[in-house]
């Protein structure tokens, strides 16, 4: 049984990049989410937070980028990205205006 996460704690931030704005035209929105969240929890969180209906959720684990310093190497933390596809007729206004 997966660990219960409060729906408002699942989504960390929307991802606003050139690629994500192109996806918004296809009714898809990208979010950074908690690494422990699964597809069902992400779907529930988006539907609750933005009052929309979700058609599909795709998730990917993104490895942190590594940097080299004089005395070694360090890396940014790994994170999880979710691309949420909405049903036709629904859109997220908050992200559309950015």
Q: How many separate domains does the chain show? A: 1
Q: What is the CATH number for 22?
A: 3.30.70.330
CA distance 36 to 32: 12
pLDDT band at 90 (very low <50, low <70, confident <90, very high): very high
3-state helix, strand, coil in the chain (%, to 5): 30, 35, 35
pLDDT in tens, 39-87: 999 999 999 999 999 999 999 999 999 999 988 999 999 999 999 999 9
In this structure, is residue 13 part of a structural domain?
yes
pTM for the whole thing?
0.87
Q: DSSP character for 63?
A: P
What phi, psi does 8 have (nearest 5°)?
A: -75, -15
Q: Which residue has the higher pLDDT, 93 or 27?
A: 27
pLDDT of 4: 86
- Which span out of 2-6, 19-23, 31-35 was modeled with the highest average pLDDT? 31-35
Show the domain range for 53.
7-65+75-88
């Amino acid at each position: 049984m997966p660990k219960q996460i409060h729906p408002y704690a699942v989504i960390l931030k929307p991802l606003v990049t050139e690629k994500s704005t192109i996806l918004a035209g296809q009714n898809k929105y990208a979010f950074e989410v908690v690494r422990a969240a699964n597809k069902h929890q992400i779907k529930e969180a988006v539907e609750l937070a933005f009052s929309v209906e979700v058609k599909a959720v795709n998730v990917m684990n993104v490895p942190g980028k590594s940097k080299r310093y004089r005395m070694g190497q360090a890396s940014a933390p790994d994170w999880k990205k979710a691309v949420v596809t909405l049903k036709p007729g629904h859109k997220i206004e908050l992200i559309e205006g950015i």
